[in-house]
Structure 1
């Protein structure tokens, strides 16, 4: 609802992967979403990413929400803090991250190690899949390792925005402990 106000504003710049990589130091985290379509989830992930110092969020160009008011409201200002990169081809973008010395960790129930047991130092990319479908086969193949978030057996999976928050927190916690 407009509530009686109108504003003329230019759209936010659409950052490219190269812009994000240029801002990354030797210890950086990038999150990548594999066809996560719910704007509330993407907004919540942006908010967590801003809170924990994530360098950028990568989404697929197709099968991801547009930068609408719903996404912006869920992000609570984080859309202006964390660059949101749209990848035409996620697998190719993950390869570019690898070329830029990022280790890629796919969050998946089938992972062989818990995220809290990883050394998340250096450049890390955490890849999260859509709810229900999870990571696609090609996306999984691009990851260096599949990891899990330890949960109670009665509820083995978290909502994607919760999983992203836990993963970003774990990275930030490890970074602050090593300083």
Structure 2
């Protein structure tokens, strides 16, 4: 039961609710995604080509606001969906064995806004996918989908139980694991060379855990000004992905 004053962002059976045009239309376009219900204003729904079997409810803006967290920018569209089927790390690595796209590994990054933004950057720079630890990462949600702006449907997201073991598997697949941390002596550009890169990023505030650092081939930093202590993890991911793409 929802707490008083709390507006739930999930429907029955822990199905997440997505909101906003990019998140909802991307979910509708994804053949791997099952959309169970759709609510929308007549104006927002008029431009969509919807399957006839999809339950659709016309709703006013205020009614849609009750289906999602307070102040969520739903843009006239809310969808209830099934989570995507889980992907195995071995399948992702096997699928990308012949290309040089970078991989993103997140060590206990828990903020759904950050994970969504990283998914969006991963899609923008054509990353192979992202890897997170199952118990220390947000589930699929409207917040993640909104921040990802459609990339949740196109960027593979692998959840693993043991991140250290996953990093070993990533190394065996031929990736050079570069961990981003402010205390490294070399810059990220100096560390990446021309090999396949797995970019490892730590949690908001705490950074990478010691065990994660020991499972990196090299540690590197972004050459930021002394005026700021660090970058938001999603900003750091975007800069690192650009550096790999531009090398």
- Whether TM-score is above 0.5 comes out as yes
Match of 1:88 in 2: 161
Pairing partner for 1:150 from 205, 208, 223: 223
Aligned pairs for 1:70-149 (under 5 A) are: 70-149=143-222
Match of 2:86 in 1: 14
Q: Distance in 2 between matches of 1:45 and 1:162?
A: 8
> Contact 1:107–1:146 (CA<8 Å) still a contact in 2?
yes
Root-mean-square deviation (CA, aligned residues, Å) is 1.7
Give the Å deviation of 1:13.
2.2
The structure, 1 or 2, with the larger RCO (C-alpha pairs under 8 Å, 6+ apart) is: 1
Match of 1:66 in 2: 139
Give the Å deviation of 1:120.
3.9
> Contact 2:191–2:218 (CA<8 Å) still a contact in 1?
no
Q: Which structure 2 residue ranges, 5 or more long, are not aligned? A: 1-18, 20-38, 41-58, 60-76
Of stretches 72-81 and 109-118 in structure 1, the one that deviates more from structure 2 is 109-118
Deviations 1:23-76 (A, max 9, x none): 212412100000000000000000000000100100110111000111011101
Runs of 4+ in 1 over 6 A off after TM superposition: none
- Structure-2-length-normalised TM-score: 0.67
Give the Å deviation of 1:19.
2.0
1:21 alignment partner, SS class: helix
1:14 alignment partner, SS class: coil
Deviations 1:112-143 (A, max 9, x none): 21112234423210100011110001000000
